[in-house]
Chains A and B, each alone.
Chain A
Amino acid sequence: MATDVAVGRARRFKTIPAGPHLLAASVFFGSWELYGHLGNPLLLPPVSAVVAGLFEITFGGPLLPALFSSLQLLFVGFGTALLVGTLLGILIGRYQLANRVFGPFLNAMYATPDIALLPLILLWFGFGMTGRVVVVFLAAFFPIMINTYAGVRDAPRELLEVASSFGVDTEVGRLRRVILPAALPLIMAGYRLGIGRAVVGMAVAEVYLRLGGLGTLIVQYGAAFRTDLLIASILPLPLLGVGLTKVFERIENRFQYWRKL
């Protein structure tokens, strides 16, 4: 257990001079544009066509409604994973018995590639909203649960003793005043990992089901060989993943700062 615990990811670069970025961007987008004009535009349309396509589907096109539907799925699925993952993580981090009983199964499920379960999940939970939410839930659940577990398990023993000599002797009091505050940085890191994986789960559910959302849009443009619109509709996904991860990184860093005090 707890092999994938991640604490705040070290910043790779402190200060980023613009030079290399501009150079790399002009080489990257320049050769893409060039290939798009010289090569087969069906395989890779020029970047200008992709940008034009992005405008076309954003304003008055199907992108925004699809994005909205995707976000709904994302937040319901991630919210459930956050709730259940945190509670179960506290339970098996706090009680040795629960850990021994559930630990091995949770480990085995964590090692199982979750997409292999996709056809079964949809068979069990239906092709409506419930089935899709379960897919997002399963993707985000494990990093949240495992990080909460690790944080709660490693609660500082001496602080617990101090708390008990100051009269904190109920389990709820211990959790609220000592264990959870101490575990917060790890729990937050779990949420950050979880939101990234939830975005992937969302895409998986939508591509597989083709019932709406960004994933469905992507499949439709792929089937119609509209490669420009296809790439344009893929773009929001990494932006969503990186953006939401950054938001959670911000929240996480605030708690790291608090911990150092």
Chain B
Amino acid sequence: MAMTTQRTEKAATSAGTPAGRRVKALLVTSLPLIALVVLLVVWEVAGRMANPILFAPPSRVADAFVELTASGRLPQALFVSLQSLAAGFLLALVTGLAIGVLLGLHPTLARGVEPYIDAIYATPRVVMIPLVILWFGVGFWGRLFIIWIGGVVPIILNTAIGVRNVRQDLVEVAESFGASERQLVRHVILPGAVPYVMAGLRIAAGRLLLGVVIAEIFLDLTGVGGIIQTESAYFRTDNMLVGVLVFAALGVVMMWAFDLLEKAFSGWKERGAE
């Protein structure tokens, strides 16, 4: 906060000079930071005036964060959430790749099966909850299913598209060198599909995290979602906001990481196309 006020002062005194232009550019780049400070101040003031049941100022949310962390409740919950997220991600990746390659290699099979996959994709996962309870119970396996089924579909569909768009010249070269079907898949088709898989993973990432939230709020009161839902019954808005912010941070980090990953591999696609 101190830094931004300093910058504003500088900009006011030296605007117009060549150095002033640099400071002005600095001011423009620091605008989001200034906006953040303004938001926090307004939130703090509004939060102190509002009914504490409905709203919590940032200072109270920060206190709640420290408290939940010190008591071990938040780290434990975060561990539970991350564990099911990682398990769901790995399962969705492995099964999605396998089914995607199968559907990509056999167009007739794909034509028959893809309407059902589309139907699953179009069904909101919240309404699957009663069925999931019957099939898997309310524990870890039920949560895993909800997370998996959201993430696996974009991976299947994108992998299948990637396999279908494999470069035919490379397939012919590999075949004329006597490559077997398995070698063809491993050395030509899968590497060619990687950029598409990455694009699918980026879509899947958001849905996997959403699956964690759905499973923890609607199915099994545990993890960070469990904190949000449980605390809402006691009107502890500060604790609820801590949970929401943890999910927001997870979402931002995942989106950023998968964006980078996709960009890294789309460069590979362009180079490969030359």
Contact = CB atoms under 8 A, between A and B. Distances in A.
A123 B247 contact: no
B134 A43 contact: yes
B232 interface: yes
Q: Is the interface of B mostly helix, strand, loop or mixed?
A: helix
B178 interface: no
A113 B216 CA distance: 12
Contacts of B36: 104
Interface string B125-153: 01111110111000000000000000000
Contacts of A61: none
A166 interface: no
B232 A215 contact: no
B241 interface: yes
Nearest to B53: A123
A172 interface: no
Given A117-B244, A123-B235, A21 B111 contact: yes
Interface in B226-241: 228-229, 232, 235, 237, 240-241
B217 A118 contact: yes
Contacts of A118: 217
B218 A119 contact: no
Contacts of A124: 54-55
Interface in B18-42: 28, 31-32, 35-36, 39
A222 B129 contact: yes
B248 interface: yes
Contacts of A234: 123, 127-128, 131
Given A100-B28, A120-B237, A215 B243 contact: no
A218 interface: yes
Contacts of B63: none
Contacts of A219: 130
B124 to A, nearest CB: 4
A180 B17 CA distance: 39
A111 B126 contact: no
Contacts of B251: 108, 111-113
A107 B255 CA distance: 10
A20 interface: yes
A241 B130 contact: no
A231 interface: yes
Contacts, number: 153
Given A16-B111, A116-B225, A120-B240, A111 B35 contact: no
Contacts of A196: 122
Nearest to A196: B122
B209 interface: yes
Nearest to A118: B217
B112 interface: yes
A97 interface: yes
A175 interface: no
B131 A230 contact: yes
B111 A237 contact: no
Interface residues of B, number: 59
B90 interface: no
Interface in B82-106: none
A101 B31 contact: yes
Interface stretch (A78-86, A144-152, A184-192, A197-205): A197-205
A107 B119 CA distance: 29
Nearest to A21: B112
B49 interface: no
Contact of B131 (A17, A111, A117, A231): A231
Interface string A88-117: 000000000100111111011101111111
A178 B247 CA distance: 40
Given A21-B112, A207-B126, A218-B127, A113 B35 contact: no
B45 interface: no
A202 to B, nearest CB: 8
Given A112-B248, A115-B210, A204 B232 contact: no
B206 interface: yes
Contacts of B243: 116
Contacts of A101: 31-32, 35
A231 B135 CA distance: 13
Nearest to B259: A3
Nearest to A96: B28
Given A219-B130, A221-B130, 5 more contacts: A20-B111, A28-B116, A101-B32, A105-B39, A237-B127
7 contacts: A21-B115, A24-B112, A25-B112, A111-B254, A116-B217, A196-B122, A241-B123
